[in-house]
Structure 1
Amino acid sequence: MLRRLASLVLILAAVVAPTCAQDAAVVAFEGVTVVPMDRERTLPGHTVVVRGDRIEAVGPDGSVVVPDGATVIDGRGKWLAPGLAEMHGHVPPPSAPAELTEETLFLYLSQGITTVRGMLGAEGQLDLKRRANTGEVLSPTLYLAGPSFNGNSVSSPEQAEAMVRQQVADGWDLLKVHPGLTRAEYDAMAETANTLGIRFGGHVPAEVGLEHAIASGQETFDHVDGYAEALDASAGPVDPARLGDLVRQSRAAGVWIVPTMALWETIYGALPLDTLRAYPELAYLPPQQVEGWVGTVEQIRSGADYDAEAARRLIEGRDEILRALHAGGVRILMGTDAPQLFSVPGFSLHREFPRMAAAGMSPYEILHSGTALVGEYFADEDTFGVVAPGHRADLVLLDADPLAESANLAEIAGVMARGRWVDRADLDARLDALRSKYASN
């Protein structure tokens, strides 16, 4: 794919070069309404001081000393919330062009995402995590699953055990489960993971089944597909008694759900292809990637096995399952599976919010699922997810109240990742550069 040299230079410079505000050791937000996310409340007229990658002080204006030489950001008329998380995201493998990887990471950040749990690792990707988490690349903080456990990568229980041990030794943050494992292979993986203290999550292999996966200590269940399969949701209305039992098991086991509802609506045909193609955020991606998505959706929907009515029932069943999980107190984590079909990094999160609201989640509960609750999930790794002293300085400055409406999370005036501040003008310049780059191809 040919690219104009000027556009390439502009993008690389935009992704790598820090701004003056980011270079400052101390940043202070003054006169801002803090959305702390320790509980459902806002704190008007506050000052927040950040030193390095940590929040140093939070208090009413006049009660917090702003150090000399601090970069001061006027927060009057704005809201300061914790940065968001993409808890089922992907980043390109090391074999991908470096600029594509940097662009992907920036797209997450541009939409207020300051933490990404990458759910499909590739050999060599841990170096990207190091570079991202030390600020060499403008990026959210990364937590990465290793290469997946699936029917192609694992052929015996012994191999499953060895693979767990190797991924622990390599330093991956968690194990990713895909379909295809036999029950014996899954059990060997789970037992070894539990012994060595590494978490695992993702899909539910058909031979394993949801209840056995819950009992085995699988921590996250992504896409709700394991529940849909256990309840045979595509066949019609789910059995409420059976659903209630699964909800109770899930809550008792302390599992986490990463729904990715919008993606599955795309896969199963809830939106016309013309609507998907009109998403404005597609302008920030390589045209070949977008056309590849178009071809995939066309292939799915035109296949001999595609049943539009069964797809409609499945989507309705998934909605019912998520409503029941939320109502039953099972913890929901924000996530979209980006970048996948028409699920653009960062932007896809804002398309997920209406689905979460439809499941009965309030604006506070939606924001909680991507901030304080994520901090709880990663509590053994770091302290973040709340606007409070000692927390990692992951923040999003908003032009509207996110507790009034979740759509206001898109009204971004600036983003701070590990103390590095990127204002609206900088975000727009980088996005404009991406748009220009791909419009020229």
Structure 2
Amino acid sequence: MKILKRLLKIVFALIGVLVITGIITLWVDSKRTNYLKVNKNDPTSNNSYLITNVNIIPMNQDTVLVNKMVYIKEGIIEKIADNIEVSEIQIIDAKNKYLTPGLIDMHVHVWDKYELGLYLSNGVTAVRNLWGMPMHLRIKEDVIKGGIISPTFFTTGPKLTGREFIGDDNLNLTNPGEAKEKVIAYKNRGYDFIKTYYGLEKEIFDAVIEQAKISEIDIVAHPSQKVPFSYHLNPQIKSIEHAEEIVQQPLQFDLDTIKLQPIIDSIAESKHTSYCPTIVVFNNIYQMMIDDSILDSESLGYMNPLIKRVDSKNQFDRWFNAKQEDPTAVSRIKNQHDFHITIVQKLHEAGVSIVCGTDAGIGVTIPGFSMHKELKFYKEAGLSNYEVLKTATVNASKTHSFMNSMGTIEAGKIANLLLVDENPLLVLSSLENPTNVFVNGRKLDRKTLESYNEKAKNRKNLMASALRYLENLIFEK
């Protein structure tokens, strides 16, 4: 008995040490992202300005409003005119640069606060996180309270699947009653959307859709192979993710444009459903197959170290082995990527609302920087620069009702804005290094934005990230 008591004391002592170590690890990581904390006593935290001598790309029409003034009051666009008289306010001379709405990435996976700075440095002023965990509710609360400098932040709850085990990163639903309970719980806890995922069968899917409608919460769908593809055109589902899912599910990997057209037509007829192609994340499979040194590339220094150690490595190994076993795999992946470009072209021609998403934060898809690669693929699909920019601004903002306050430059809209040197309607790459980013009216200059990149590069927070993921496994299962 004495031996048992001693063993229990040792076990409890070890648990105590681990808990304390975990708390310290998370505290240290939190302190390292203090550069994103809002200092309300700092005069640069002001979010009211008068911008003068600026050319506006409003994105509610294909035009440029030349040499205008924009009055931003407490983070909201108050007025746009040729001349505005406002006293006792900071004036920003834009020197004939171009003002556009901030970009919106509609499909990301956020792993830490460092990534928020990476999005901002690349002109992304709003993100839709599609792999919800408890830490994302904390980030969202910080953003809402104005405690941190961040893109406007929206998040789904955990990914919902059916009875079949797909991975520990998904929540397996076993019956319709449980499905309804989870939808209610996620809405009450503050998640913005429900994400349905691969493996969700009809009976449980029906329950999710039914309860989401009652609870007035939108669904974002990664298509499930357990139901027909057309099932995802339900009005409660506001966007469908991944062009590759069209290839894998209704087309069964048959890259046939004749078979593709009825699928495109059905999406177009639904009217209420946007499509988020995430071209760049699939293309990165091809990049891994042709570049054996990609994991050692400088750009991978911006990935979360836990993801780089686990997911990036696993994905690289998978595709490296695939090409070793079958040399034709490289051309097959490249052909499928090219077909994804065709899918975007066909979606656009059919009038489907395309929304820009990158799937950043997994594999080798870098937060923030990948946005510009995604936009270039839409350009390759035949969209004009204006149409490309719509996917990351006004189209994205119309997907969910509570995002309607961004996406265009109009009075009453949130001042999520980019100031760039050249007209992106002519030079799309001008979006890549904005001179200034305004997020909720707060002005960030290029020097500050570059510092966000430097802080995030090669960061040492693997253990802190692992602890946050462990929290998810413990409390969301």
Match in the other structure for 2:374: 352
Q: Give the aligned residue type for 1:27.
A: Y
Q: Please, which of 421, 425, 428 is the counterpart of residue 403 of structure 1?
A: 425
The equivalences for 1:317-396 within 5 A come to 317-396=339-418
CA–CA separation in structure 2 for the residues paired with 1:437 and 1:129 = 22
Aligned to 2:75: 53
Aligned residues: CA RMSD: 2.8
TM-score w.r.t. the length of structure 1 is 0.88
**Alpha-carbon spacing, 1:437–1:170, altered in 2? closer, same or farther (3 Å):** closer
Q: Secondary structure at the match of 2:422?
A: coil
Mapped partners of 2:339, 2:384: distance in 1? 21
Partner of 2:334: 312
Please give the per-residue CA displacement for 1:21-72, whole angstroms capped at 9, x wherever unaligned. Answer: 5422521211111111110111121111111120111112xx111331x222
SS of alignment partner, residue 146 of structure 1: strand
Whole-Å separation in 2 of the counterparts to 1:420 and 1:225: 37
Q: Contact 1:133/1:139 (CA < 8 Å) preserved in 2?
A: no
Aligned partners of 2:50, 2:183: CA distance in 1, in Å? Answer: 44
Please name the residue that 1:423 is paired with. Answer: 445
Deviation at 1:168, TM superposition (A): 2.2
2:260 to 243, 246, 258: 243
Counterpart AA for 1:199: D
Percent sequence identity over matched residues? 24
**Given the alignment of the two structures, is residue 213 of structure 1 paired with residue 232 of structure 2, yes or no?**
yes
* Cα distance in 2 for residues equivalent to 1:319 and 1:206: 22
Deviation per CA, 1:307-352, whole angstroms, max 9, x where unpaired?
3343233223322222111111100001101111221111110111
Distance 1:124 1:432, change over 3 A: closer
Residue 239 of structure 1: how far off its partner (Å): 4.3
Listed as ranges, the gaps of 5+ residues in structure 2 are 1-27, 166-171, 461-477
1:370-422, Cα deviation, whole Å (9 max, x unpaired): 11122222334551211111100101111111111221111310111111111
Cα contact 1:209–1:226 (8 A) shared by 2:
no
- Residue type at the aligned position of 2:267: S
Aligned residue in 2 for 1:76: 95
The CA distance in 1 between the partners of 2:423 and 2:133, in whole Å, is 39
Q: Deviation of residue 300 (structure 1)?
A: 2.6
Give the number of aligned pairs: 424
Aligned residue number for residue 182 of structure 2: 163
State yes or no: 1:262 paired with 2:280.
Answer: yes
CA contact (8 A) 1:16 1:138 kept: yes
Q: Which moved more, 1:289-298 or 1:48-57?
A: 289-298
Q: Which residue is equivalent to 1:111?
A: 122
Q: 1:289 to 1:205 in 2, by over 3 A?
A: closer
Do residues 89 (structure 1) and 111 (structure 2) align?
no
Structure 2 equivalent of residue 96 of structure 1: none
The answer to whether residue 247 in structure 2 is matched with residue 228 in structure 1 is yes
Contact 2:307 2:362 in 1 (8 A): no
Partner of 1:16: 37
In the alignment, the residues of structure 2 paired with residue 226 and residue 194 of structure 1 have an alpha-carbon distance, to the nearest angstrom, of 25
User: SS state of the match for residue 36, structure 1?
Assistant: coil
Q: Once the two structures are superposed, what CA deviation does each residue of 1:99-150 show, in whole Å capped at 9, x if it has no partner?
A: xx22111111111111111101113532320111232111111111111111
**1:289 CA displacement:** 4.2
Query: For residues 385 and 87 of structure 1, do their structure 2 counterparts lie closer, same or farther at Cα, with a shift above 3 Å needed?
Result: same
Give the match's secondary structure for 2:319: helix
Q: Partners in 2 of 1:398 and 1:137 — Cα distance?
A: 24
The CA distance in 1 between the partners of 2:388 and 2:43, in whole Å, is 30
Cα distance in 2, alignment partners of residues 173 and 308 from structure 1: 38
Gaps (5+ residues) in structure 1? Answer: 1-6, 93-100
What displacement does 1:286 show? Answer: 5.0
Residues 1:133 and 2:153 aligned together: no
In 1, Cα distance between equivalents of 2:43 and 2:294: 37
User: Radius of gyration: which is bigger?
Assistant: 2
Q: Is the 8 A contact 2:121 2:433 kept in 1?
A: no
The answer (yes or no) to whether the contact 2:232–2:240 under 8 Å persists in 1 is no
Looking at structure 1, the residues matched to 304 and 362 of structure 2 have their Cα atoms a distance apart, in angstroms, of 13
Q: What secondary structure sits across from 1:373 in the alignment?
A: helix
Q: Which residue of 2 aligns with 1:154?
A: 173
**What SS does structure 1 have at the residue aligned with 2:33?**
helix
Distance 2:232 2:219 in 1: 10
Aligned partners of 1:33 and 1:46 also within 8 Å: yes
Distance in structure 2 (CA, Å) of the matches to 1:437 and 1:289? 12
Distance 1:379 1:356 in 2: 25
Contact 2:38–2:146, Cα closer than 8 Å, also in 1: no
TM-score between the two structures when normalised by the length of structure 2:
0.81
Cα 1:162–1:250 change in 2 (3 A) is: same
On the 8 A contact 1:234/1:311 being kept in 2, the answer is no
Q: Is the 8 A contact 1:154 1:160 kept in 2?
A: yes
Q: Give the partner amino acid of 1:154.
A: L
2:153 to 142, 156, 159: 142
* Structure 1 residue corresponding to 2:134, chosen from 104, 107, 123: 123
Identify the residue that residue 221 of structure 2 maps to in structure 1.
Answer: 202
CA distance in 1, matches of 2:45, 2:375: 33
SS in 2 for 1:342: coil
Letter in 1 for 2:36: V
Distance 1:84-1:406 versus aligned 2 partners, 3 A rule = same
Distance in 1 between residues matched to 2:457 and 2:152, nearest whole Å? 25
| Amino acid paired to 2:150 | S
Alignment correspondent of 1:66: 86
State the 1:243 CA deviation: 2.1
Q: Identify which range, 38-47 or 126-135, moves more after superposition.
A: 126-135
Paired with 1:90 and 1:216, the residues of 2 have a C-alpha distance of 25
2:430 aligned partner, one-letter code: N
CA distance 1:9–1:259, shift in 2 (3 Å)? closer
CA distance in structure 2 between the partners assigned to 1:238 and 1:358 by the alignment: 19
Query: Residue 47 and residue 414 in structure 1: after superposition, are their counterparts in 2 closer, same or farther (change >3 A)?
Result: same
CA distance in 1, matches of 2:239, 2:149: 28
